[in-house]
Amino acid sequence: MTVFRWTPSLLGVLLCVLSGSVLAQSEGSRLLATGAAASLEGASGGGIVPMAVLSGYGTREEQGGTLFGSLVQTDDYALSVIGGSWSWHNRLEVSLARQRLSHQPLSERLGVAPSSIEQRIFGAKVRLVGDLIYTPWPQVSLGVQHKQNEDFFVPAAAGARDDSGTDVYLSATKLVLAGLAGRNLLLNATARSTKANQLGLVGFGGDLNNEAEWMAEVSAGVFLNRHWLVGAEYRQKPDNLSFILEDDWRTAFVGWFPNKQVSLVAAWVDLGEVATFPDQTGWYLSLEGSF
């Protein structure tokens, strides 16, 4: 069992999130929770599936940003992510995320020294059309995520072809007011073109497939009231490597939005088999500050 160690940088971000939130001068005018949460790859959305909404609370005349820190802990892996985003006029979102995967059990099994993999992700998302709440059609956004794997030794050994890749995705998201027994219903579907193995942490492309493929991702949630969201996500994954299987991912989450400054998401995750270790279930926690 890998025990996650709090890295100083993650702790720093969390402190930043909290103090930044407290010091924030003004907040955006969009409704509570409409910036969703920070996904593992930095784009706003759920834990594992991006949405068409833009981060923060800025309207078409405002701007704003976020800082976040997230953790995933399964039996044999720990993933920590820190990042931030900036959204302009509810039109363009740019985001940065740094992921660090700790895989001590895998290193022992392979008999290699490196026990972690880092990846940097630069993301951009453009709202093409629609408003999450106010238009009859969903909000639709187009996004890219450029990923750079910085520890390619283990991924290369697993058969991955490239240490960088670019995902392109199209998301449609709608909040159906009073959509489920009077509660507001959040629906999202994302199509992603990708070559990434396990987000890119195990590199890009492989012996089975080296072309970008379209993957389906969905998420849905219900707002119990405007502060609490419960829901689930599903993310289809490619199968590029014959050496290691890759399963689809799922989560069941609870999001808490006490105010427009902070939000907290906790989830149960099922990542299936990850690089020869089966049944990787565990938990996910994410703290985000908006300003």
- Residue 61: count other Cβ atoms within 10 Å of its Cβ: 9
Residue 139 within binding range of another protein, rule CB under 8 A = no
- E-only strand ranges, 75-163: 78-88, 92-102, 116-129, 139-149
Residue 131 within binding range of another protein, rule CB under 8 A = yes
Binding region for another protein (CB under 8 A) out of 36-44, 143-151, 179-187, 250-258: 179-187
The nearer residue to another protein, 3 or 181, going by C-beta atoms, is: 181
Residue 224 within binding range of another protein, rule CB under 8 A = yes
The nearer residue to another protein, 174 or 192, going by C-beta atoms, is: 174
Residue 61 within binding range of another protein, rule CB under 8 A = yes
Residue 157 within binding range of another protein, rule CB under 8 A = no
The nearer residue to another protein, 112 or 224, going by C-beta atoms, is: 224
Min separation Cβ 87 and another protein, Å: 13
Residue 29: strand, helix, or coil: coil
Residue 88 within binding range of another protein, rule CB under 8 A = no
Residue 91 within binding range of another protein, rule CB under 8 A = no
Residue 9: strand, helix, or coil: helix
Give the distance, in angstroms, between the CA of residue 62 and the centroid of all CA atoms in the same chain. 24
- Residue 241: count other Cβ atoms within 10 Å of its Cβ: 23
- Residue 15: count other Cβ atoms within 10 Å of its Cβ: 11
What are the structure tokens assigned to 176, written together? Answer: 């159906």
Question: Cβ(196)–Cβ(210) under 8 Å?
Answer: no
Min separation Cβ 75 and another protein, Å: 38
Query: What does the chain come to in residues?
Result: 291
Residues lying near another protein in the complex (CB under 8 A) are found at 29-31, 59-62, 90, 131, 133-136, 177-178, 181-184, 224-226
